Amino acid sequence: MNVLHSVGFLNTVIRGAICDPTLGEVDNHPNAAFFGDVEWYLTCREVSHAGDTFNTYCQKILAEILEIDPTAWTLVKKLLRAKTREDAIESLRIQREFDGSVRKALRESLGAFWCGEMEIIAELRNRIVHQAGMDPEGKIHETILEFPPGEQFLPPSGLDPADFPVAVDAGAKLQIDAKTGYWATQHVMHHIHMLDQTLCHRFGLSRRRKPIRSVGFQVKEHSSAFTFFPDKPLPVSRAILPPPAHDFQLTPFPEYESMSNPEEIACAATWRKVRGEIHEFVLQSCEDSEVEICGLEPSLAGSIRTHTIEGHDHHLGFTLRPKGIVDGKSNFLGVRLRQDKFQPFITIWGTHTQMRDFKPCELTEQVKEYLHDCINHTINR
């Protein structure tokens, strides 16, 4: 995980170190053809590494589950090549089982938390490693149909669930770039984090915190080297991927299926209602003003458990900018739906506005006014 965490940063440094923007723009940069080859190489390495990291994790975690809970063997044995639980544990530890079968065992036999992006990333890895980035049989399309992306209710923060930076051209070659690499690494790190929480709790697996290793890069004060953002590709001769069409829709609200406390059920219902109302209000307010939304992060803060609303808040994060302004600083508008002794309330803040709490948890005129203030600071600062 430490290596995967640093891959995106390493690639941004490499891109920035070889690109001199003073030589030209995307359409006329003299190194555009070279950048195209570099972009392909770096992205293939990052996506493949993300896929391999996830496959390795799945084999290792299944080995731990089988070792500590023998009853799990009856649920997964039909999917594995090993004939006994002991052989399966040994085989999984050295990653000798089929990756697809192991993922299926976790996903279907054990009912683990899952999202379609994991299967798509694994298939991208297979096309890159086994067919040099070609997909003549349409495997990527088949996987997308079977495991649609963008449907998980708790996506990685920093990614728009509507973004899907993967395509296949008419010649069956994958169309991927820095956006794809960033998308893949963020999904894998997020999904491993979610799996580790749920599976370790369910099966009583032991865990200890391991700090994420920080990697830096130093340059002289007037050095021409600079870093790109992790999802910004090099200026190639043509756009590798078309710009995504944003509709900034909300991800599904969790169902809390096993929750029985009436106060918690009422609080969750209020959260659901107000979450949708605030989302629609901000979208309409931006539509009616000189501000546009360039990013939306609907997510949860904390750890979700289906039997209680305790331990997490619902979060909406809007990235805003003046209409027609692509470059320059953006403004952030954050909304948290929280609770105190199961009494819901709203917390709102922005890049240039203070954090304020609002009770009751309703889209009142006071809440609307403060949301307007936060939005207007995008063009008034």
Q: What is the DSSP string of 29-82?
A: -TTHHHHHHHHHHHHHHHHHHHHHHHHHHHHHHHHHHHHH-GGGHHHHGGGSS-
Q: Is the dihedral of CA 186, 188, 193, 197 positive or negative?
A: positive
| Cβ–Cβ < 8 Å for 309, 259 | yes
Mean pLDDT across 30-48: 91
| Cβ–Cβ < 8 Å for 93, 80 | no
| Cβ–Cβ < 8 Å for 149, 120 | yes
Task: Tell me how far apart the alpha carbons of residues 315 and 305 are, in angstroms, rounded to a whole number.
Answer: 16
User: What tens digit of pLDDT does each residue of 233-255 get?
Assistant: 887 765 555 555 566 777 778 87
Given this model, what pLDDT does residue 242 score? 52
User: What tens digit of pLDDT does each residue of 338-372 get?
Assistant: 999 999 999 999 888 889 999 999 999 999 999 99
**Mean pLDDT of all residues in the chain?**
87
Given this model, what pLDDT does residue 304 score? 76
Mean pLDDT across 317-336: 80
Task: Tell me how far apart the alpha carbons of residues 153 and 253 are, in angstroms, rounded to a whole number.
Answer: 6
Mean pLDDT across 29-39: 87
Task: Tell me how far apart the alpha carbons of residues 92 and 99 are, in angstroms, rounded to a whole number.
Answer: 10
Kindly tell me if the per-residue pLDDT of 326 is higher than 60. Answer: no
pTM of the model: 0.64
Kindly tell me if the per-residue pLDDT of 337 is higher than 60. Answer: yes
Identify the top-confidence range among 3-17, 50-64, 154-168. 50-64
Task: Tell me how far apart the alpha carbons of residues 25 and 46 are, in angstroms, rounded to a whole number.
Answer: 25
Q: How confident is the model at residue 23 (pLDDT cuts 50, 70, 90)?
A: confident
Q: In the chain, where are the structural domains located?
A: 2-203, 262-380
| Cβ–Cβ < 8 Å for 117, 149 | yes
User: What tens digit of pLDDT does each residue of 66-99 get?
Assistant: 999 999 999 999 999 999 999 999 999 999 999 9
Mean pLDDT across 132-140: 93
Given this model, what pLDDT does residue 247 score? 63
Task: Tell me how far apart the alpha carbons of residues 229 and 8 are, in angstroms, rounded to a whole number.
Answer: 9
Given this model, what pLDDT does residue 15 score? 86
Given this model, what pLDDT does residue 276 score? 93
Q: How confident is the model at residue 269 (pLDDT cuts 50, 70, 90)?
A: very high
User: What tens digit of pLDDT does each residue of 163-213 get?
Assistant: 889 999 888 999 999 999 999 999 999 999 999 888 988 999 987 777 777
3-state secondary structure (DSSP) of residue 176: coil
Nearest to 381, CA basis, from 281, 291, 269: 291
User: What tens digit of pLDDT does each residue of 294-315 get?
Assistant: 878 777 777 777 788 998 899 8
CA-based end-to-end distance of the chain: 39
Task: Tell me how far apart the alpha carbons of residues 251 and 109 are, in angstroms, rounded to a whole number.
Answer: 26
Tracing tokens 């930076």 back to the chain, one arrives at: 165
| 355 phi and psi angles, rounded to 5 deg | -80, 130
Kindly tell me if the per-residue pLDDT of 272 is higher than 70. Answer: yes
Higher pLDDT, 333 or 158: 333
